[in-house]
Structure 1
Amino acid sequence: MDNYTNDNTARRYVAHVSILGTTQLHLRNPYIIAWWSAAFPGFGHLLLSKYLRGYALFIWEVAVNIQAHINSAMIYSFQGNIDMAKEVLNTRWLLMYIPVYLFGIWDSYRTTVDMNRVYLLAEREEHRFNSFSLGALEINYLDKRNPVVAVMWSLFIPGLGQLYIHRILTAIFVIVWLVVFYYFSHVQEAIFLLILGKVKEATSVLKPEWLLFIPSHYGFAVYDSYINTVENNKLFEKELRNHLTENYQSEGFQILKGQKVK
């Protein structure tokens, strides 16, 4: 069997390159992952490449948040109108929202700790992984890319940074939901009216319960594209270093206490 594909010839792999993206294990700070889950349920799991769990929690957050009017209550709270915040909340939905919200934070933290341990074990095994994937629909390969460019495209439109580094699943998900948030928040209409100087009309057309989703969406897209570009670059350098060592380095080459010995 080919040892350069993830064919279960080893217990653990550091990475897997497919036409849909590059999935890899690397050390992550569990508190940062948990923070992203607190900012928006599902984001922490998407950072871990736990897509199905991340998608489920994300969709739950949007659906239940809207039904419970949580964003609307937050806006009234920011304005100091606590009585109105209490009035607008739908407690039937709120009581379902809280347990899942807490679960997302806890599970992303727990999963990060576990995946860090798996990464350390996979590093010790040092099993080779595929670095090139060719399919009927796409081509993906390890390469170095600029993290600043990934951030720049994510700031223009969330999801473009993920396309730049070939995280296809995350890119499609982020772009589709950005369109949903733009459409229901009427933010682009508000921007157009603001450019025309119609400030009151711009404010009145906005739907704040949908608008509050957008900052977290932008923040996640920027952070995810930057971190994964950096880690993909490290993975590329490691894979290239191992390839050159195995195929071009002399078997008698050694480094002892800073001195080369042949």
Structure 2
Amino acid sequence: MPSKNNGVKSSQRYVSAYISSYNVNFMHIRNPWVVAWWSAAYPGLGHMMLSKNITAFILILWESVVNYAAGINMAIFYSMTGQFELAVQALDTEWFLFYITAYLFSIWDVYKKTVQYNHDYVLSSAEGFNVISDNISFLERNNLAKRKPLMSLLWSILAPGLGHIYLNCLPSACIFIGWFMGVVYLSGILPAIHDSMEFHFAAAKADLNIQWFLNLPSLYTFVAYDAYVITVEYNRLFKKEQAAFFKQDYQDQLYDMPI
């Protein structure tokens, strides 16, 4: 039997999944247009779907800083409410022109990588799904197990990041929790909710920072979507790993599996 290293057989050229004590990084077929759309909605989100967490963190940080400096969200808000003169005033042209190149790059790059990763997944599938289903370290333990997609969706809606903790995707969880806390604080949404509950609507409007608040729809929608999809794909990976294990250790080599 070939030796195993880092969760896969050493004879394998393409790795279908890597299980560490704090994350499961694995490949599955993705629609390149869907991934590109998420990058268009917010640069970095498409790279999060591909488990490129460091790249995603850089792009999310870039988007947050440059978007704020350019006043893009405020310009979008004024445009949606028909206040076009205020939209022009809110937009910083110099920062906006600086914004365009990296924005287009994030969409192009994630589309290109998704197509490439889909090809790699097909090749890795031909070699099997020989992964170590349990990983224990000094700090954490992680293992492949069936999880409930609706549960990860619910926790992500209640607080972005919790669904990824449920899935033991700790790098993603750290990014989402930090991002969520920062945006919630800077947007002033919690004081606005409090004042609205007391019917102080003028005060609630004054509390709300639209520039930061408009980050929340993309954040909430993506984190819930991503947690749900990851759970579904985790469950598929679990079944494939179990099937590969039983075939390798228990199935007679001469047995012809019916199709």
Asked if TM exceeds 0.5, the reply is yes
Unaligned runs of 5+ in 2: none
Query: For 1:210-229, what per-residue CA distance to the aligned partner results, in whole angstroms no more than 9, with x for missing partners?
Result: 00001111111101100000
Q: 2:199 aligns with which of 194, 197, 204?
A: 197
Q: Does the Cα contact within 8 Å between 1:190 and 1:203 map onto a contact in 2?
A: yes
Q: Which piece of structure 1 moves more, 2-11 or 169-178? A: 2-11
Cα drift, residue 251 of structure 1: 3.5
- Alpha-carbon distance in structure 1 between the residues aligned to 2:222 and 2:59: 15
2:132 aligns with 130
1:3 aligns with 4
1:171 aligns with 173
Q: CA RMSD in A?
A: 1.4
SS at 1:254's partner residue?
coil
* One-letter amino acid of the counterpart of residue 60, structure 2: F
Cα drift, residue 141 of structure 1: 0.5
Query: For 1:219-258, what per-residue CA distance to the aligned partner results, in whole angstroms no more than 9, with x for missing partners?
Result: 111011000000000000111111122222234432446x
Q: Does the Cα contact within 8 Å between 2:153 and 2:224 map onto a contact in 1?
A: yes
Greater than 6 Å deviation, 4+ residue runs: none
Q: Does the Cα contact within 8 Å between 1:144 and 1:233 map onto a contact in 2?
A: yes
1:219 aligns with 221
The alpha-carbon distance between structure 1 residues 249 and 8, as it changes in their structure 2 partners (threshold 3 A), is closer
The alignment of Structure 1 onto Structure 2 pairs a total of residues equal to 257
Cα drift, residue 151 of structure 1: 0.3
1:144 aligns with 146
How does 1:88-107 map onto structure 2 within 5 Å?
88-107=90-109
Q: Does 1:60 align with 2:62?
A: yes
TM-score, length-scaled by structure 2: 0.95
SS at 1:133's partner residue?
strand
TM-score, length-scaled by structure 1: 0.94
The alpha-carbon distance between structure 1 residues 254 and 8, as it changes in their structure 2 partners (threshold 3 A), is closer
- Determine what percentage of the aligned residue pairs are the same residue: 37
* One-letter amino acid of the counterpart of residue 98, structure 2: M
Query: For 1:71-110, what per-residue CA distance to the aligned partner results, in whole angstroms no more than 9, with x for missing partners?
Result: 0101110111111111111111111101110111111100
Q: Does 1:36 align with 2:38?
A: yes
Unaligned runs of 5+ in 1: 258-262
Cα drift, residue 127 of structure 1: 5.6
Q: 1:159 aligns with which of 161, 167, 187?
A: 161
